[in-house]
Amino acid sequence: MIHLYTYTTPNGRKPAILLEELGLPYTLHKVDLGKGEQFSPEFVALNPNSKIPAIKDEDTGVTVFESGAILIYLAEKTEKLLPTDAASRAQVMAWLMFQMAGVGPMFGQLGHFRRSAPEPIEYAINRYEQEALRLVKVLNRQLQERDFIAGEYSIADIATYPWVAAYEYVGLSLDPFPHVQAWLERVGQRPAVQTGMAILTPEFKSDLAQ
């Protein structure tokens, strides 16, 4: 049994999507960021960095934090959605890091300065908007001749989807990026993605979650 400690953020949705795709039963634990529960001693014992998500695998006793590391752990545990041949695996890992180092931070900062900053800072908004758009342009080019980011559907898609799906929230237009729009629709039609994206909302229904 996997214990998933998470919240309704893009990073928090990634492992939920993957668990649903893999068909792994899991126990869901809400870590309410608004109440500061990520700083509780119980959660810090799971993740010393006080960030969601985190998992604990009862089968192995292994605890994993950082969303990308969780995706890799679960994919390797089941030998699914992460290729084993060196070339294909390298591509998936490269695009996973593209999300972790680029898409997530840039979308996150843009969302913060556009929606949560106590006062608008034009320089910050412009900086993060331009970088987010540049990354979407890279992604659009990558998806021009393939259905999924690294060729076959993989943890690279699962990592990237919740962030790019938040484009309206952070104030971006995807009109210039038709391949990204088509990819969002394609990935978003998957039942496991729909379930994982609804984690901890009234719409959430899963036969796998406790």
pLDDT of 140: 98
- Of 142, 128, 139, 203, give the one whose Cα is nearest residue 165: 139
pLDDT tens, residue by residue, 84-141: 999 999 999 999 999 999 999 999 999 999 999 999 999 999 999 999 999 999 999 9
- Of 7, 11, 3, give the one whose Cα is nearest residue 163: 11
pLDDT of 122: 97
pLDDT of 56: 98
With beta carbons less than 8 A apart as the criterion, state whether 193 and 130 touch. no
Per DSSP, the three-state class of 135 is helix
Tell me which residues of the chain have a pLDDT lower than 50: none
Q: pTM here? A: 0.97
Q: How many CB atoms lie within 10 A of CB 10?
A: 23
**Residues ≥6 apart with Cβ < 8 Å to 116:** none
Q: Tell me: domain 2-81+193-197, CATH 3.40.30.10, correct?
A: yes
Residue range 86-190, CATH number: 1.20.1050.10
What are the structural domain ranges in the chain? 2-81+193-197, 86-190
pLDDT of 185: 98
pLDDT of 134: 98
Q: What is the DSSP string of 136-204?
A: HHHHHHHGGG-SBTTBS--HHHHHHHHHHTTTTTTT---TT-HHHHHHHHHHHTSHHHHHHHTTTSTT-
CA dist., res. 123 & res. 79, Å (int): 44
- Pairing type for strands 2-6 and 26-30 reads parallel
Per DSSP, the three-state class of 209 is strand
C-alpha pair distances (Å), 51 with each of 100, 124, 162: 14, 23, 17
